[in-house]
Chain A
C-alpha cells in the first residue's frame, strides 16, 4: 500500500504533467468451493481470495502517456496463488501513423473463443484460471507502423516471464507440485534471452487476418525431473513459431481459423483451431441475443501433451439478456475426441449497481478421462463466486 501511495505521489508531482493523473481499477472477492475432497496431499478443500488491479494513467502531451497497472492477489489456501504482477507499465509515444511502446504491456492475437492458440507475446497467468485469458505483463520495446496496406508490429522482448503453477495448498494441480523456481532453459541466457516477433495484419472487406513470426523462448514449458533437486521442473525450449489468424465475417456468421507451425531442436509441431460463431438477435421473441459457438482444435506440438486441448471439440452458447444489468449466461462444453473426456462450464454474470458486478461460474470436470492431461483435475469440479467492485 505504501508503494502505491509513493507511486501516486511521484506521478502527481511530475513537473511536466499537463493532465491530472487518472486512477481506476477493480477490487474483487473470490470464493471457490469444490464439490469433492482434494486428491493430493497438502491441498486445502476450498479457497477465498482478494485481488486488486489498479491502473494509473498519466498523459504528458497529446502523443505521450504513461500507463502503470499493478496487480496483486492474496489467497487463503495457496501461497503461490498469492502473487503480484505488473500487468502494464510503459511509456507510449503515439504520433499519428506509428506507436512506440517501451515497458510492460499486454498484446492479444487470435480470433477463436475457447483456445488462444496463436497468442504468444504474454505468458499465461495460470494461477488466475485455466482458461488462459489472464496474462502476465511482458517487458517489450514495440514499434507499430500503420500503413494503407496494413499494420506491421515489431517486438523485442528482452525478459521472459516464467509460468507459475499452483502451490501445495492449491486445487487444480497435479499430484506433484511443480518446482517453478528452478525452471531450466535451453538458452544459456535463461530468461534474459532476447525474444523477437513481427506481425503483419490487415483487413480487406469481410476478411481480417494476421500473420506472424516469433523467435525465442517457448511460452509453454515441457517438464523434467531435476537431477539436482529431484523435483519436477519446467523446461523452456528455444523455438521458431509461425502463426496465422483469419476471420471471415459474412452476414451473421463469423468463421475463424488459427494455425501455427513450431520448430524447436527436438520437435516440429503443428496446431490449428477452427470454428464459427453465429448470433440470433431478439431470440425467441425477447430482447435477448443467443450466440452459438462451435470450435475444433488440433495440436500436435510436444507441449500439447500437457495441454487441455489437443484434439477437442468445443461448443458454446451465450445468452445476452439485454437487460439494464447486462446479464449474461454462458454454457461451454468441451469434449476430447481421443478419449471422450467431457468438461462443462456454466457462467452467469450480472451488474449489481453502477460500480459492482457479480459472477458465478461452475466447472464440471468429473467426466475427464484418467489418461487425459486434465485427468488430474477430476476431483476438482468447483463453483466460483466472484464479486467485483470498480473504482
Chain B
C-alpha cells in the first residue's frame, strides 16, 4: 500500500522520469537476465587468435589463452596467457573482477620473473595494441552501467532488444555510451556500438557464429572490432571452449603466475 502511494506520488510530481525509469527498468531487467544466462558455467578454458589489421590491411597475430573461474557473488577471476609473438611469450595477466570498485590485476613479466600489481581503474587503454580495450574484454558487471531499453528491431534473421549502456563512473570508461543488440530468444550480444567520451561513434563490435555449450551456454566463436576513427580492426577467433576443467581458486593465486605453462 505504502509503495503504491509513493509510486503515485512520483507519477504526480515527475511523470517524465517515471517513463525513463520504465525504460531503465526494462533495460536493466534484460541486462540482468542476459548476465544470468552467461553464468553458472563454473570454469572454462579457451584458446584464441587475435588478428590486428592496420588501415592498409597489414596483419599481425597474437596467440592467447584464457582461463576463467566463476565466483559466486562477485566478478570472475581470469588468467590471460600470451603465447605469441614470441617476445611476450609467458607474459600473463591475472584479474579478479569485482561488482563494486576496481578490479585487482597483476601482470607477470617473465624476463624479470616479476609479478607486478597494476592499476585497473582506467580500463580505456588498448589491450595488446589491439582495438579492444580492457573494458571490452573484461567481465561486464551489471552494477557498473545504467541501462535503458531503446527498442526492439530486426537484426539479421533474428529480432533484437536494443539497449543503451551508460558507464556509472565516466572517469573509468573510454565511452560515453554503448548501444547493445541482444537477440530476443537467447539474449546473446549480436552487436555493439561504442561512442567515445565526446559522443562520437568510435567502434563497432560484431559477433560471429555462436556455439552452444553444456546445453545452455552460448559463446561467440568470432568477434570483430572495427575502429571507425583510425581505420584499424581487430578480429578474435576462438577455438573450442572447454568447460568444467577443474580449475579452482588456487589456480588463480598470484604465486602461480610464474609457474604457468
Docked CA distance A295–B255 (Å): 26
Cβ–Cβ < 8 Å partners of A289 in chain B: 125-126
- Given pairs A251-B121, A254-B118, 8 additional interface contacts (CB within 8 A): A99-B259, A249-B117, A281-B125, A287-B129, A326-B87, A354-B60, A355-B87, A357-B87
User: Which residues of B sit under 8 angstroms from A321, Cβ to Cβ?
Assistant: 129
Q: Could you give, for residues 303-322 of chain A, a 1 whenever the CB lies within 8 Å of some chain B CB and a 0 otherwise? A: 00000000000000000011
Mask, A24-41, CB within 8 Å of B = 1, is: 100000000000000000
Complex contact A252–B89 (CB within 8 A)? no
A144/B255 in contact, CB under 8 A: yes
A351 to B61, CA, bound (A): 12
List chain A residues, Cβ under 8 A from B52: 324
Interface size on B, residues (CB 8 A): 36
**Interfacial chain B residues near A251, Cβ < 8 Å:** 102, 119, 121
What separation, in Å, do the CA atoms of A96 and B116 have in the docked complex? 22
For the complex, what is the distance from the CA of A322 to the CA of B125, rounded to whole Å? 9
Enumerate chain A residues within 8 angstroms of B119, measured Cβ to Cβ: 249, 251-254, 279
- Does B99 lie at the interface of the complex (its beta carbon under 8 Å from any beta carbon of A)? no
* Min C-beta distance of B217 to chain A, whole Å: 27
**Complex Cα spacing A146 to B116, Å:** 18
Nearest CB of A to B84, in Å: 6
Residues on the B chain within 8 Å of A253, using CB: 119
Interface residues of A (CB under 8 A from B): 24, 57, 59, 92, 94, 96-97, 99, 106-108, 111, 133, 144, 146, 151, 203, 208, 247, 249, 251-254, 279, 281-282, 287, 289, 321-326, 351, 354-357, 388, 390-391
Task: Using CB atoms and an 8 Å cutoff, list the residues of chain B in contact with chain A.
Answer: 52, 54, 58, 60-61, 84-89, 102, 104, 112-114, 116-119, 121-122, 124-126, 128-129, 174, 230, 248, 250, 253-255, 259, 261
| A151 neighbours in B (Cβ, 8 Å) | 255
| Pairs A–B under 8 Å by Cβ, sample size 12 | A96-B248, A144-B255, A203-B104, A252-B122, A281-B124, A324-B52, A326-B85, A326-B88, A354-B60, A354-B86, A355-B87, A390-B85
Q: Is the CB of A323 within 8 A of B87?
A: no
Inter-chain contact B117/A351, CB cutoff 8 Å:
no
In the complex, the answer to whether A324 meets B60 with C-beta atoms within 8 Å is yes
Q: How far is the CA of A99 from the CA of B257 in the complex (A)?
A: 13
Partner of B129, one of A208, A323, A390: A323
- The CA of A349 and the CA of B174, in the complex, are separated in Å by 27
List A contacts of B85 (CB < 8 A).
326, 351, 354-355, 390
Q: What's the Cα separation between A151 and B114 when bound, in Å?
A: 16
| Set of chain B residues within 8 Å of A146, measured between Cβ atoms | 250, 253, 255
Contact, CB under 8 Å: A108 / B114: yes
Q: Which residues of B contact A325 (CB under 8 A)?
A: 60, 129
Q: Report how far A322 CA is from B60 CA in the complex, Å.
A: 13
- A203→B129 contact, CB < 8 A: no
Residues of B within 8 A of A287 (CB): 126, 129, 230
Q: Kindly state the separation between the CA atoms of A325 and B2 in the bound complex, as whole angstroms.
A: 63
Whole-angstrom CA separation of A289 from B126 in the bound complex:
8
* A96 with B129, Cβ < 8 A, contacts A133-B112, A253-B119 known: no
Which residue of the partner chain, among A94, A208, A354, contacts B117 with CB atoms under 8 Å? A208
Q: Which residues on the B side are within 8 Å of A144 (C-beta)?
A: 255
Q: How far is the CA of A332 from the CA of B122 in the complex (A)?
A: 24
**Which residues of chain B are within 8 angstroms of A388 by Cβ–Cβ distance?**
87
CA distance A253 to B104 in the complex (A): 13
